[in-house]
Amino acid sequence: MIRFQLEKRQVERFELQIETMLNVQDEAITERPPVLFSRDISCAGVFLITDNPFPIGTNLDLNLLLSQHELGSMPKDERIKISTSGKVIRTDDQGMAVEFDKLYKISRLTLPA
């Protein structure tokens, strides 16, 4: 008997390493927010690589930082920032999956010199 495993995902994923700054919602953070890199991303969420994932159900604010400098379209000290929020829905030994909320904002971010 041959069994086929069906893909559960409804949207296409892209293997992109995107620098991501995190803030935990409803929690005072006294230290600098963690910066992680994505393993893959889709329009529904992102998988972030970490040895210390947040617990399932943790609400996060995310700032995904995209660089266009390599393409010559932006100065080296500027990035595009996509700000959104989401919830940790799964963790494993490689990191955590975060499902995005529906709202997001795209803006420029000038890095300190």
Digit-by-digit pLDDT tens for the chain (113 residues) are 454 444 565 778 889 899 999 988 876 555 556 789 999 999 899 999 999 999 999 999 999 988 776 656 666 677 788 999 999 999 999 999 999 998 888 888 777 76
Considering just the CA atoms, what is the radius of gyration of the chain in Å? Answer: 16
Phi, psi values for residue 68, rounded to 5°: -110, 5
> Residue 11, Cβ neighbours under 10 Å: how many?
8
Phi-psi region at 57: left, alpha or beta (left = phi > 0; alpha = psi -120 to 50) = left
| Predicted model pTM | 0.79
Structural contact between residues 104 and 84, judged by C-beta atoms closer than 8 angstroms:
yes
* Candidate CATH numbers 1.10.3470, 2.40.10, 2.30.30, 3.40.50; the one for domain 19-110: 2.40.10
